[in-house]
Amino acid sequence: MIVRIGHRGAAGHAPENTLLSIQRAIVLGADMVELDVRRTRDGRFVLLHDEWVDRTTNGKGTVSEMTLKEVRHLDAGEGERIPTLEEALEIASSRVGVILEIKAPDLAEGVATTVRQSAFKGLVIYASFLHHELERVRAIIPSTDTMALLENGSSSPAIPIGIKASYVGLPLDSLTRQKVELFHSASYSVFVYTVNDPLDIEWVKTLGVEGIVSDFPDRL
Residues involved in catalysis: 7, 49
| β-bridge partners, 7 | 34
Q: How many CB atoms lie within 10 A of CB 198?
A: 11
In terms of Cβ atoms closer than 10 Å to its own Cβ (0-12, 13-18, 19+), residue 220 is buried
